[in-house]
Structure 1
Protein backbone atom coordinates (compact mmCIF):
# COMPACT_ATOMS: atom_id res chain seq x y z
CA UNK A 1 0.00 0.00 0.00
CA UNK A 2 1.32 3.46 -0.92
CA UNK A 3 1.97 6.15 1.68
CA UNK A 4 -0.93 8.27 0.37
CA UNK A 5 -3.28 5.33 0.87
CA UNK A 6 -2.00 4.96 4.41
CA UNK A 7 -2.69 8.67 4.98
CA UNK A 8 -6.26 8.22 3.74
CA UNK A 9 -6.83 5.27 6.08
CA UNK A 10 -5.38 7.18 9.03
CA UNK A 11 -7.49 10.29 8.44
CA UNK A 12 -10.76 8.58 7.54
CA UNK A 13 -10.65 5.48 9.71
CA UNK A 14 -11.76 3.46 6.68
CA UNK A 15 -9.86 0.81 4.76
CA UNK A 16 -8.68 1.57 1.24
CA UNK A 17 -10.02 -1.12 -1.04
CA UNK A 18 -8.40 0.11 -4.24
CA UNK A 19 -6.14 2.95 -5.34
CA UNK A 20 -7.27 4.88 -8.43
CA UNK A 21 -4.16 6.85 -9.29
CA UNK A 22 -2.17 9.07 -6.97
CA UNK A 23 -5.06 10.95 -5.37
CA UNK A 24 -8.23 8.84 -5.57
CA UNK A 25 -9.02 5.89 -3.34
CA UNK A 26 -11.99 3.54 -3.12
CA UNK A 27 -12.92 2.92 0.51
CA UNK A 28 -14.40 -0.26 1.90
CA UNK A 29 -17.69 1.54 2.60
CA UNK A 30 -18.13 2.34 -1.12
CA UNK A 31 -17.12 6.00 -1.04
CA UNK A 32 -14.35 7.36 -3.24
CA UNK A 33 -11.93 9.65 -1.41
CA UNK A 34 -9.78 12.40 -2.90
CA UNK A 35 -6.47 13.22 -1.21
CA UNK A 36 -4.94 16.70 -1.44
CA UNK A 37 -1.57 17.81 -0.10
CA UNK A 38 -1.27 21.33 1.29
CA UNK A 39 2.22 21.15 2.77
CA UNK A 40 3.56 23.92 0.50
CA UNK A 41 0.98 26.42 1.80
CA UNK A 42 0.95 26.24 5.62
CA UNK A 43 -2.54 26.62 6.99
CA UNK A 44 -4.24 26.03 3.64
CA UNK A 45 -5.70 22.67 4.69
CA UNK A 46 -7.31 24.15 7.79
CA UNK A 47 -8.66 27.06 5.75
CA UNK A 48 -10.10 24.83 3.04
CA UNK A 49 -11.64 22.33 5.46
CA UNK A 50 -13.26 25.12 7.47
CA UNK A 51 -14.43 26.82 4.29
CA UNK A 52 -16.06 23.68 2.90
CA UNK A 53 -17.93 23.14 6.16
CA UNK A 54 -19.03 26.79 6.28
CA UNK A 55 -20.42 26.96 2.74
CA UNK A 56 -22.22 23.62 3.03
CA UNK A 57 -25.55 25.29 3.83
CA UNK A 58 -29.03 23.78 3.37
CA UNK A 59 -30.27 24.67 -0.08
CA UNK A 60 -26.88 25.97 -1.20
CA UNK A 61 -24.57 24.50 -3.86
CA UNK A 62 -23.36 21.03 -2.90
CA UNK A 63 -19.73 20.70 -1.81
CA UNK A 64 -17.56 17.65 -1.11
CA UNK A 65 -17.67 16.19 2.41
CA UNK A 66 -14.49 16.54 4.44
CA UNK A 67 -13.55 13.01 5.52
CA UNK A 68 -10.39 13.94 7.40
CA UNK A 69 -7.61 16.47 7.65
CA UNK A 70 -4.36 17.28 9.42
CA UNK A 71 -1.75 20.00 8.99
CA UNK A 72 -0.60 18.58 5.65
CA UNK A 73 -3.38 16.49 4.12
CA UNK A 74 -7.07 16.94 3.26
CA UNK A 75 -9.38 14.06 2.36
CA UNK A 76 -12.76 14.75 0.75
CA UNK A 77 -15.38 12.80 -1.15
CA UNK A 78 -15.13 12.62 -4.94
CA UNK A 79 -17.52 14.66 -7.08
CA UNK A 80 -18.78 12.56 -9.97
CA UNK A 81 -18.60 14.47 -13.25
CA UNK A 82 -21.37 15.27 -15.67
CA UNK A 83 -21.84 17.95 -18.29
CA UNK A 84 -22.98 21.56 -17.97
CA UNK A 85 -26.59 22.25 -18.87
CA UNK A 86 -28.70 25.40 -18.68
CA UNK A 87 -30.93 23.74 -16.10
CA UNK A 88 -27.96 22.94 -13.87
CA UNK A 89 -26.61 26.47 -14.36
CA UNK A 90 -29.90 28.10 -13.34
CA UNK A 91 -30.05 25.84 -10.29
CA UNK A 92 -26.48 26.84 -9.41
CA UNK A 93 -27.56 30.48 -9.51
CA UNK A 94 -30.50 29.83 -7.21
CA UNK A 95 -28.37 27.85 -4.79
CA UNK A 96 -25.56 30.42 -4.84
CA UNK A 97 -28.09 33.07 -3.80
CA UNK A 98 -29.11 30.89 -0.85
CA UNK A 99 -25.46 30.54 0.18
CA UNK A 100 -24.87 34.29 0.02
CA UNK A 101 -28.07 35.07 1.91
CA UNK A 102 -26.95 32.80 4.77
CA UNK A 103 -24.66 35.67 5.70
CA UNK A 104 -21.49 36.19 7.71
CA UNK A 105 -20.51 37.91 10.95
CA UNK A 106 -18.81 40.73 9.06
CA UNK A 107 -16.86 41.70 5.98
CA UNK A 108 -13.73 39.59 6.03
CA UNK A 109 -15.07 37.14 8.61
CA UNK A 110 -13.27 33.81 8.42
CA UNK A 111 -15.20 30.53 8.61
CA UNK A 112 -15.45 29.18 12.16
CA UNK A 113 -12.23 27.32 12.88
CA UNK A 114 -10.52 28.82 9.84
CA UNK A 115 -7.29 30.82 10.16
CA UNK A 116 -7.23 34.58 9.82
CA UNK A 117 -4.23 34.30 7.50
CA UNK A 118 -5.62 32.09 4.74
CA UNK A 119 -4.85 31.49 1.08
CA UNK A 120 -6.24 32.20 -2.37
CA UNK A 121 -4.39 30.09 -4.88
CA UNK A 122 -0.79 30.13 -3.68
CA UNK A 123 -0.81 33.62 -2.20
CA UNK A 124 -1.81 34.79 1.25
CA UNK A 125 -5.24 36.28 1.97
CA UNK A 126 -5.99 37.93 5.30
CA UNK A 127 -9.43 37.62 6.84
CA UNK A 128 -10.73 39.49 9.85
CA UNK A 129 -14.03 41.32 10.34
CA UNK A 130 -12.62 44.61 11.61
CA UNK A 131 -13.94 47.07 8.99
CA UNK A 132 -17.07 49.18 9.36
CA UNK A 133 -18.11 48.88 5.71
CA UNK A 134 -17.47 46.82 2.60
CA UNK A 135 -15.68 49.65 0.72
CA UNK A 136 -13.27 50.15 3.62
CA UNK A 137 -12.60 46.42 4.00
CA UNK A 138 -12.26 45.81 0.26
CA UNK A 139 -9.72 48.61 -0.12
CA UNK A 140 -7.67 47.73 2.97
CA UNK A 141 -7.67 43.93 2.74
CA UNK A 142 -8.43 42.93 -0.84
CA UNK A 143 -6.96 45.58 -3.15
CA UNK A 144 -4.27 47.73 -1.51
CA UNK A 145 -2.05 44.84 -0.29
CA UNK A 146 -1.88 43.31 -3.76
CA UNK A 147 -1.33 46.66 -5.48
CA UNK A 148 1.67 47.18 -3.18
CA UNK A 149 2.98 43.66 -3.79
CA UNK A 150 2.65 43.99 -7.57
CA UNK A 151 4.30 47.42 -7.51
CA UNK A 152 7.19 46.15 -5.36
CA UNK A 153 7.69 43.23 -7.76
CA UNK A 154 7.91 45.62 -10.70
CA UNK A 155 4.66 44.50 -12.34
CA UNK A 156 2.84 47.82 -11.74
CA UNK A 157 4.74 51.00 -12.54
CA UNK A 158 1.92 53.48 -11.93
CA UNK A 159 -0.69 52.90 -9.23
CA UNK A 160 -2.53 56.20 -9.68
CA UNK A 161 -5.66 54.59 -11.13
CA UNK A 162 -6.00 52.32 -8.07
CA UNK A 163 -5.60 55.29 -5.74
CA UNK A 164 -8.47 56.94 -7.61
CA UNK A 165 -10.58 53.83 -7.07
CA UNK A 166 -9.79 53.86 -3.33
CA UNK A 167 -10.86 57.50 -3.07
CA UNK A 168 -14.20 56.83 -4.76
CA UNK A 169 -14.98 53.36 -3.39
CA UNK A 170 -17.95 54.41 -1.20
CA UNK A 171 -19.53 55.93 -4.32
CA UNK A 172 -18.54 53.11 -6.69
CA UNK A 173 -19.70 50.27 -4.44
CA UNK A 174 -23.43 50.83 -4.95
CA UNK A 175 -26.09 50.50 -2.24
CA UNK A 176 -24.89 49.06 1.10
CA UNK A 177 -25.22 45.28 1.36
CA UNK A 178 -25.03 43.01 4.42
CA UNK A 179 -22.04 40.63 4.60
CA UNK A 180 -22.61 37.62 2.36
CA UNK A 181 -21.19 34.13 2.83
CA UNK A 182 -18.82 33.82 -0.13
CA UNK A 183 -17.06 30.93 -1.80
CA UNK A 184 -14.35 33.50 -2.41
CA UNK A 185 -12.46 31.91 -5.32
CA UNK A 186 -15.34 31.19 -7.65
CA UNK A 187 -13.66 30.86 -11.02
CA UNK A 188 -14.90 28.24 -13.48
CA UNK A 189 -12.28 25.67 -12.42
CA UNK A 190 -13.84 25.52 -8.97
CA UNK A 191 -17.27 24.67 -10.39
CA UNK A 192 -17.65 20.95 -11.11
CA UNK A 193 -20.62 19.88 -13.19
CA UNK A 194 -22.06 16.72 -11.70
CA UNK A 195 -24.82 14.47 -13.05
CA UNK A 196 -27.52 16.42 -11.21
CA UNK A 197 -26.02 19.64 -9.83
CA UNK A 198 -23.07 21.97 -10.16
CA UNK A 199 -20.74 21.49 -7.18
CA UNK A 200 -18.29 23.96 -5.63
CA UNK A 201 -14.75 23.01 -4.58
CA UNK A 202 -11.59 24.74 -3.26
CA UNK A 203 -13.14 27.74 -1.50
CA UNK A 204 -11.30 30.77 -0.13
CA UNK A 205 -14.38 31.40 1.98
CA UNK A 206 -15.04 34.62 3.90
CA UNK A 207 -17.68 37.25 4.50
CA UNK A 208 -17.87 39.72 1.62
CA UNK A 209 -20.03 41.32 -1.06
CA UNK A 210 -22.18 38.86 -3.00
CA UNK A 211 -21.41 40.53 -6.33
CA UNK A 212 -17.77 39.43 -5.91
CA UNK A 213 -18.53 35.72 -6.48
CA UNK A 214 -20.62 36.55 -9.54
CA UNK A 215 -17.93 38.83 -10.94
CA UNK A 216 -15.31 36.11 -10.62
CA UNK A 217 -17.50 33.68 -12.56
CA UNK A 218 -17.69 36.33 -15.27
CA UNK A 219 -13.92 36.96 -15.27
CA UNK A 220 -12.76 33.53 -16.40
CA UNK A 221 -15.92 32.36 -18.13
CA UNK A 222 -18.47 29.70 -17.23
CA UNK A 223 -20.82 27.68 -19.44
CA UNK A 224 -24.35 29.12 -19.38
CA UNK A 225 -23.34 32.07 -17.19
CA UNK A 226 -26.46 33.96 -18.26
CA UNK A 227 -28.59 31.12 -16.84
CA UNK A 228 -26.63 31.27 -13.57
CA UNK A 229 -27.37 34.99 -13.31
CA UNK A 230 -31.04 34.51 -14.16
CA UNK A 231 -31.43 31.81 -11.52
CA UNK A 232 -29.64 33.96 -8.97
CA UNK A 233 -31.80 37.01 -9.58
CA UNK A 234 -35.00 34.93 -9.41
CA UNK A 235 -34.01 34.07 -5.83
CA UNK A 236 -32.23 37.23 -4.72
CA UNK A 237 -32.48 40.31 -6.99
CA UNK A 238 -29.29 42.31 -7.44
CA UNK A 239 -29.09 46.06 -6.81
CA UNK A 240 -29.37 48.37 -9.80
CA UNK A 241 -26.05 48.93 -11.54
CA UNK A 242 -24.57 45.51 -10.67
CA UNK A 243 -23.34 44.92 -14.21
CA UNK A 244 -21.37 48.18 -14.21
CA UNK A 245 -19.73 47.14 -10.93
CA UNK A 246 -18.34 43.87 -12.28
CA UNK A 247 -14.87 45.36 -13.01
CA UNK A 248 -14.68 46.73 -9.45
CA UNK A 249 -15.20 43.26 -8.01
CA UNK A 250 -12.74 41.75 -10.50
CA UNK A 251 -9.89 43.90 -9.20
CA UNK A 252 -9.09 41.47 -6.39
CA UNK A 253 -8.68 38.28 -8.46
CA UNK A 254 -6.86 40.17 -11.21
CA UNK A 255 -4.40 41.63 -8.72
CA UNK A 256 -3.91 38.21 -7.13
CA UNK A 257 -3.06 36.83 -10.57
CA UNK A 258 -0.72 39.75 -11.15
CA UNK A 259 1.13 38.92 -7.93
CA UNK A 260 1.27 35.22 -8.79
CA UNK A 261 1.95 35.35 -12.53
CA UNK A 262 2.73 38.95 -13.54
CA UNK A 263 2.60 39.44 -17.28
CA UNK A 264 -0.66 40.48 -18.88
CA UNK A 265 -2.67 40.33 -15.67
CA UNK A 266 -1.25 43.71 -14.60
CA UNK A 267 -2.70 45.30 -17.73
CA UNK A 268 -6.05 43.62 -17.10
CA UNK A 269 -6.09 44.92 -13.52
CA UNK A 270 -5.39 48.48 -14.69
CA UNK A 271 -8.11 48.17 -17.34
CA UNK A 272 -10.58 46.91 -14.72
CA UNK A 273 -9.75 49.85 -12.42
CA UNK A 274 -10.33 52.31 -15.26
CA UNK A 275 -13.64 50.61 -16.11
CA UNK A 276 -14.71 50.76 -12.46
CA UNK A 277 -14.11 54.51 -12.41
CA UNK A 278 -16.49 54.99 -15.35
CA UNK A 279 -19.53 53.95 -13.29
Structure 2
Protein backbone atom coordinates (compact mmCIF):
# COMPACT_ATOMS: atom_id res chain seq x y z
CA UNK A 1 0.00 0.00 0.00
CA UNK A 2 1.34 3.48 -0.84
CA UNK A 3 1.73 5.90 2.06
CA UNK A 4 -0.85 8.53 2.96
CA UNK A 5 1.26 11.53 1.89
CA UNK A 6 1.69 10.15 -1.62
CA UNK A 7 -1.94 9.07 -1.73
CA UNK A 8 -3.12 12.63 -1.03
CA UNK A 9 -0.71 14.05 -3.60
CA UNK A 10 -1.87 11.62 -6.26
CA UNK A 11 -5.53 12.27 -5.51
CA UNK A 12 -5.01 16.01 -5.94
CA UNK A 13 -2.98 15.69 -9.17
CA UNK A 14 -5.37 13.21 -10.74
CA UNK A 15 -8.43 15.20 -9.71
CA UNK A 16 -6.99 18.27 -11.43
CA UNK A 17 -5.93 16.34 -14.51
CA UNK A 18 -9.21 14.48 -14.96
CA UNK A 19 -11.43 17.29 -13.65
CA UNK A 20 -13.29 14.94 -11.35
CA UNK A 21 -12.70 14.12 -7.69
CA UNK A 22 -10.40 11.09 -7.50
CA UNK A 23 -10.35 8.95 -4.40
CA UNK A 24 -7.76 6.18 -4.07
CA UNK A 25 -9.33 3.21 -2.37
CA UNK A 26 -6.56 0.62 -2.51
CA UNK A 27 -3.13 -0.06 -4.02
CA UNK A 28 -1.44 -3.33 -4.87
CA UNK A 29 2.23 -3.69 -5.72
CA UNK A 30 2.84 -5.53 -8.99
CA UNK A 31 5.85 -6.49 -11.10
CA UNK A 32 6.92 -3.75 -13.48
CA UNK A 33 10.60 -3.53 -14.38
CA UNK A 34 14.05 -3.23 -12.87
CA UNK A 35 14.26 0.34 -11.57
CA UNK A 36 10.70 1.29 -10.59
CA UNK A 37 8.22 0.33 -7.92
CA UNK A 38 4.91 -0.31 -9.67
CA UNK A 39 1.37 -0.44 -8.35
CA UNK A 40 -2.15 -1.02 -9.48
CA UNK A 41 -4.25 1.60 -7.74
CA UNK A 42 -8.01 1.30 -7.41
CA UNK A 43 -9.95 4.56 -7.54
CA UNK A 44 -13.56 5.66 -7.74
CA UNK A 45 -12.91 6.26 -11.47
CA UNK A 46 -11.41 2.85 -12.17
CA UNK A 47 -7.97 1.24 -11.92
CA UNK A 48 -4.77 3.11 -12.73
CA UNK A 49 -1.08 2.22 -12.98
CA UNK A 50 1.52 3.91 -10.78
CA UNK A 51 5.31 4.01 -11.09
CA UNK A 52 7.63 5.30 -8.39
CA UNK A 53 11.36 5.91 -8.32
CA UNK A 54 14.06 8.05 -6.71
CA UNK A 55 13.60 11.69 -7.73
CA UNK A 56 17.23 12.63 -7.10
CA UNK A 57 18.73 9.65 -8.88
CA UNK A 58 16.55 9.92 -12.01
CA UNK A 59 15.64 13.60 -12.39
CA UNK A 60 12.95 14.29 -14.93
CA UNK A 61 12.56 10.65 -15.95
CA UNK A 62 8.80 10.49 -15.56
CA UNK A 63 8.22 13.92 -17.08
CA UNK A 64 10.00 12.67 -20.19
CA UNK A 65 8.11 9.37 -20.16
CA UNK A 66 4.80 11.22 -19.82
CA UNK A 67 5.77 13.31 -22.84
CA UNK A 68 6.81 10.25 -24.86
CA UNK A 69 3.57 8.42 -24.13
CA UNK A 70 1.61 11.48 -25.18
CA UNK A 71 3.63 11.81 -28.39
CA UNK A 72 2.79 8.22 -29.31
CA UNK A 73 -0.88 8.57 -28.34
CA UNK A 74 -1.28 11.76 -30.36
CA UNK A 75 -0.53 9.84 -33.57
CA UNK A 76 -3.46 7.48 -32.90
CA UNK A 77 -1.88 4.53 -34.74
CA UNK A 78 -1.30 2.04 -31.91
CA UNK A 79 -2.63 1.54 -28.37
CA UNK A 80 -0.64 3.38 -25.68
CA UNK A 81 -1.63 3.87 -22.02
CA UNK A 82 -3.03 7.33 -21.45
CA UNK A 83 -0.64 9.31 -19.22
CA UNK A 84 -2.59 10.88 -16.36
CA UNK A 85 -0.07 12.70 -14.20
CA UNK A 86 3.49 12.96 -12.92
CA UNK A 87 5.33 14.77 -10.18
CA UNK A 88 7.53 14.54 -7.09
CA UNK A 89 6.80 14.20 -3.41
CA UNK A 90 8.87 13.20 -0.37
CA UNK A 91 11.93 12.43 -2.52
CA UNK A 92 10.04 10.20 -4.93
CA UNK A 93 9.02 10.73 -8.53
CA UNK A 94 5.75 9.29 -9.72
CA UNK A 95 3.94 8.64 -13.00
CA UNK A 96 0.31 7.60 -13.25
CA UNK A 97 -1.17 6.13 -16.41
CA UNK A 98 -4.26 4.34 -17.50
CA UNK A 99 -4.27 0.71 -16.36
CA UNK A 100 -4.33 -1.55 -19.43
CA UNK A 101 -6.13 -4.85 -18.91
CA UNK A 102 -4.59 -7.91 -20.51
CA UNK A 103 -6.41 -10.07 -23.05
CA UNK A 104 -5.92 -12.95 -25.46
CA UNK A 105 -4.27 -12.39 -28.84
CA UNK A 106 -6.57 -12.03 -31.82
CA UNK A 107 -5.88 -14.40 -34.77
CA UNK A 108 -4.26 -11.54 -36.70
CA UNK A 109 -2.38 -10.14 -33.70
CA UNK A 110 1.08 -10.09 -35.27
CA UNK A 111 -0.11 -8.76 -38.61
CA UNK A 112 -2.05 -6.00 -36.86
CA UNK A 113 0.93 -5.19 -34.60
CA UNK A 114 3.26 -4.91 -37.59
CA UNK A 115 0.83 -2.67 -39.45
CA UNK A 116 0.56 -0.41 -36.41
CA UNK A 117 4.35 -0.13 -36.08
CA UNK A 118 4.60 0.65 -39.80
CA UNK A 119 2.04 3.45 -39.36
CA UNK A 120 4.04 4.73 -36.40
CA UNK A 121 7.18 4.81 -38.52
CA UNK A 122 5.36 6.79 -41.20
CA UNK A 123 5.08 9.69 -38.75
CA UNK A 124 7.93 12.07 -39.48
CA UNK A 125 9.47 15.48 -38.85
CA UNK A 126 12.24 17.49 -40.56
CA UNK A 127 15.12 16.34 -38.33
CA UNK A 128 16.44 13.33 -36.44
CA UNK A 129 16.09 13.75 -32.68
CA UNK A 130 13.49 15.04 -30.28
CA UNK A 131 12.60 18.21 -28.41
CA UNK A 132 14.26 17.04 -25.17
CA UNK A 133 16.69 14.49 -23.86
CA UNK A 134 14.95 11.53 -22.23
CA UNK A 135 15.87 8.13 -20.85
CA UNK A 136 16.43 4.61 -22.08
CA UNK A 137 16.16 2.49 -18.98
CA UNK A 138 17.93 4.59 -16.35
CA UNK A 139 20.45 6.09 -18.80
CA UNK A 140 20.04 9.59 -20.18
CA UNK A 141 19.34 9.54 -23.91
CA UNK A 142 20.51 12.57 -25.88
CA UNK A 143 18.29 13.82 -28.71
CA UNK A 144 20.15 16.84 -30.08
CA UNK A 145 18.69 17.40 -33.58
CA UNK A 146 20.70 16.64 -36.71
CA UNK A 147 19.75 16.49 -40.38
CA UNK A 148 21.88 13.36 -40.85
CA UNK A 149 20.99 10.03 -39.23
CA UNK A 150 24.65 8.95 -39.34
CA UNK A 151 25.72 12.06 -37.42
CA UNK A 152 22.83 11.69 -34.96
CA UNK A 153 23.62 8.02 -34.32
CA UNK A 154 27.29 8.75 -33.77
CA UNK A 155 27.02 11.81 -31.50
CA UNK A 156 23.79 11.06 -29.59
CA UNK A 157 23.96 7.28 -29.32
CA UNK A 158 27.23 5.42 -29.89
CA UNK A 159 29.84 7.90 -28.68
CA UNK A 160 28.15 8.85 -25.36
CA UNK A 161 27.61 5.18 -24.48
CA UNK A 162 31.12 4.30 -25.60
CA UNK A 163 32.52 6.90 -23.19
CA UNK A 164 30.39 5.58 -20.32
CA UNK A 165 31.47 2.01 -20.99
CA UNK A 166 35.12 3.05 -21.29
CA UNK A 167 34.98 5.02 -18.04
CA UNK A 168 33.57 1.91 -16.33
CA UNK A 169 36.42 -0.13 -17.87
CA UNK A 170 33.78 -2.30 -19.55
CA UNK A 171 35.52 -1.87 -22.94
CA UNK A 172 39.19 -1.55 -23.85
CA UNK A 173 41.04 1.29 -25.53
CA UNK A 174 41.11 -0.81 -28.70
CA UNK A 175 37.30 -1.21 -28.54
CA UNK A 176 36.91 2.53 -28.05
CA UNK A 177 39.06 3.27 -31.10
CA UNK A 178 37.13 0.70 -33.14
CA UNK A 179 33.81 2.37 -32.30
CA UNK A 180 35.25 5.78 -33.20
CA UNK A 181 36.35 4.41 -36.59
CA UNK A 182 32.92 2.85 -37.11
CA UNK A 183 31.24 6.20 -36.47
CA UNK A 184 33.20 7.72 -39.34
CA UNK A 185 31.86 4.98 -41.65
CA UNK A 186 28.20 5.41 -40.71
CA UNK A 187 27.29 7.72 -43.64
CA UNK A 188 28.17 4.98 -46.10
CA UNK A 189 26.51 2.20 -44.10
CA UNK A 190 23.00 3.61 -43.59
CA UNK A 191 20.63 4.35 -46.48
CA UNK A 192 19.00 7.77 -46.39
CA UNK A 193 15.46 7.76 -45.04
CA UNK A 194 13.21 10.40 -43.48
CA UNK A 195 13.13 10.53 -39.68
CA UNK A 196 10.58 8.04 -38.30
CA UNK A 197 8.81 8.24 -34.97
CA UNK A 198 10.29 5.41 -32.88
CA UNK A 199 9.18 3.74 -29.69
CA UNK A 200 12.90 3.61 -28.97
CA UNK A 201 12.97 0.52 -26.73
CA UNK A 202 10.73 -1.91 -28.58
CA UNK A 203 11.48 -5.29 -27.06
CA UNK A 204 9.07 -7.99 -25.94
CA UNK A 205 8.92 -6.65 -22.38
CA UNK A 206 7.50 -3.34 -23.57
CA UNK A 207 4.33 -4.52 -25.27
CA UNK A 208 1.32 -6.46 -24.08
CA UNK A 209 -1.83 -7.96 -25.54
CA UNK A 210 -4.69 -5.66 -24.65
CA UNK A 211 -8.27 -6.55 -23.80
CA UNK A 212 -9.20 -6.12 -27.49
CA UNK A 213 -6.61 -8.72 -28.57
CA UNK A 214 -4.30 -6.11 -30.11
CA UNK A 215 -0.88 -4.81 -29.09
CA UNK A 216 -0.36 -2.06 -26.57
CA UNK A 217 3.10 -0.50 -26.24
CA UNK A 218 4.56 1.27 -23.18
CA UNK A 219 7.83 2.31 -21.48
CA UNK A 220 9.00 4.28 -24.53
CA UNK A 221 12.29 6.05 -25.19
CA UNK A 222 10.77 8.17 -27.95
CA UNK A 223 12.66 10.02 -30.67
CA UNK A 224 12.63 10.43 -34.44
CA UNK A 225 15.28 8.19 -35.92
CA UNK A 226 16.02 5.48 -38.45
CA UNK A 227 13.19 2.94 -38.37
CA UNK A 228 15.60 0.00 -38.52
CA UNK A 229 16.49 0.83 -34.90
CA UNK A 230 13.06 -0.27 -33.64
CA UNK A 231 13.08 -3.39 -35.81
CA UNK A 232 16.58 -4.40 -34.72
CA UNK A 233 15.53 -3.97 -31.10
CA UNK A 234 12.61 -6.38 -31.60
CA UNK A 235 15.14 -9.03 -32.67
CA UNK A 236 17.61 -8.51 -29.83
CA UNK A 237 15.84 -10.56 -27.15
CA UNK A 238 13.29 -12.46 -29.25
CA UNK A 239 9.58 -12.73 -28.59
CA UNK A 240 8.33 -11.43 -31.96
CA UNK A 241 6.71 -13.85 -34.39
CA UNK A 242 7.97 -14.08 -37.98
CA UNK A 243 4.54 -12.88 -39.15
CA UNK A 244 5.40 -9.49 -37.63
CA UNK A 245 8.43 -9.10 -39.91
CA UNK A 246 6.79 -10.44 -43.07
CA UNK A 247 3.85 -8.07 -42.64
CA UNK A 248 6.02 -5.04 -41.89
CA UNK A 249 8.17 -5.76 -44.93
CA UNK A 250 5.10 -6.07 -47.13
CA UNK A 251 3.75 -2.72 -45.94
CA UNK A 252 6.94 -0.71 -45.62
CA UNK A 253 9.89 -2.54 -47.20
CA UNK A 254 13.32 -1.97 -45.75
CA UNK A 255 16.17 -0.77 -47.93
CA UNK A 256 18.48 -3.46 -49.37
CA UNK A 257 21.17 -4.65 -46.96
CA UNK A 258 18.98 -4.31 -43.87
CA UNK A 259 20.05 -7.77 -42.67
CA UNK A 260 23.66 -6.61 -42.46
CA UNK A 261 22.62 -3.52 -40.49
CA UNK A 262 20.77 -5.37 -37.72
CA UNK A 263 23.91 -5.67 -35.59
CA UNK A 264 24.85 -2.07 -36.31
CA UNK A 265 21.47 -0.93 -34.95
CA UNK A 266 21.71 -3.30 -31.98
CA UNK A 267 25.06 -1.85 -30.97
CA UNK A 268 23.37 1.01 -29.12
CA UNK A 269 21.02 -1.06 -26.91
CA UNK A 270 23.84 -3.54 -26.28
CA UNK A 271 26.07 -0.70 -25.05
CA UNK A 272 23.18 0.44 -22.84
CA UNK A 273 22.92 -3.04 -21.36
CA UNK A 274 26.69 -3.30 -20.95
CA UNK A 275 26.74 -0.05 -18.95
CA UNK A 276 23.73 -1.05 -16.84
CA UNK A 277 24.32 -4.75 -16.28
CA UNK A 278 27.95 -5.49 -16.97
CA UNK A 279 30.14 -7.73 -19.04
CA UNK A 280 27.73 -10.40 -20.27
CA UNK A 281 27.00 -8.19 -23.31
CA UNK A 282 30.64 -7.50 -24.15
CA UNK A 283 31.13 -10.44 -26.50
CA UNK A 284 28.03 -9.48 -28.51
CA UNK A 285 29.43 -5.97 -28.95
CA UNK A 286 32.83 -7.31 -30.01
CA UNK A 287 31.23 -9.62 -32.57
CA UNK A 288 29.27 -6.76 -34.13
CA UNK A 289 32.31 -4.49 -34.29
CA UNK A 290 34.31 -7.17 -36.07
CA UNK A 291 31.77 -7.12 -38.88
CA UNK A 292 32.54 -3.49 -39.68
Q: Same fold (TM over 0.5)?
A: yes
- 1:11 alignment counterpart: 13
1:154 pairs with 2:169: yes
Aligned residue pairs total 267
- 1:47 alignment counterpart: 64
Worse-matched range after superposition: 92-101 or 235-244: 235-244
1:179 pairs with 2:195: yes
1:247 pairs with 2:263: yes
Q: Distance in 1 between matches of 2:44 and 2:225?
A: 40
The 5 A counterparts of 1:255-270 are 255-270=271-286
Q: Distance in 2 between matches of 1:192 and 1:7?
A: 29
User: Alpha-carbon deviation of 1:20?
Assistant: 3.4
1:217 pairs with 2:238: no
Which sections of structure 1, spanning at least 5 residues, go unmatched? 111-115
Per-residue CA deviations over 1:75-112 (Å, capped at 9, x if unaligned) read 001111234566212211100111111113421123xx
Give the TM-score normalised by the residue count of structure 1: 0.89
- 1:80 alignment counterpart: 101
Per-residue CA deviations over 1:174-231 (Å, capped at 9, x if unaligned) read x20001111111121111122311111111101111110010010011241x111122
Worse-matched range after superposition: 15-24 or 209-218: 15-24
Quick one: which of 118, 121, 127 aligns to 2:134?
118
- 2:33 alignment counterpart: none
3-state SS of the aligned residue for 1:41?
coil
- 1:113 alignment counterpart: none
Which sections of structure 2, spanning at least 5 residues, go unmatched? 16-21, 30-37
Q: Measured at CA, do residues 151 and 2 of structure 1 come closer, stay the same or move farther in structure 2, by a change above 3 Å?
A: closer
- 1:66 alignment counterpart: 83
- 1:143 alignment counterpart: 158
3-state SS of the aligned residue for 1:265?
helix
3-state SS of the aligned residue for 2:63?
helix
Question: Considering only aligned residues, what root-mean-square deviation do their CA atoms show, in Å?
Answer: 1.9
Contact kept? 2:197, 2:225, Cα under 8 Å: yes
Quick one: which of 21, 40, 47 aligns to 1:32?
47
Contact kept? 2:210, 2:216, Cα under 8 Å: yes
Worse-matched range after superposition: 68-77 or 1-10: 1-10
Higher RCO (CA < 8 A, seq sep 6+): 1
Q: Distance in 1 between matches of 2:74 and 2:287?
A: 36
3-state SS of the aligned residue for 1:10?
helix
Worse-matched range after superposition: 69-78 or 9-18: 9-18
1:206 pairs with 2:233: no
Q: Distance in 1 between matches of 2:225 and 2:208?
A: 23
Q: Distance in 2 between matches of 1:146 and 1:23?
A: 31
User: Alpha-carbon deviation of 1:58?
Assistant: 4.4
Give the TM-score normalised by the residue count of structure 2: 0.85
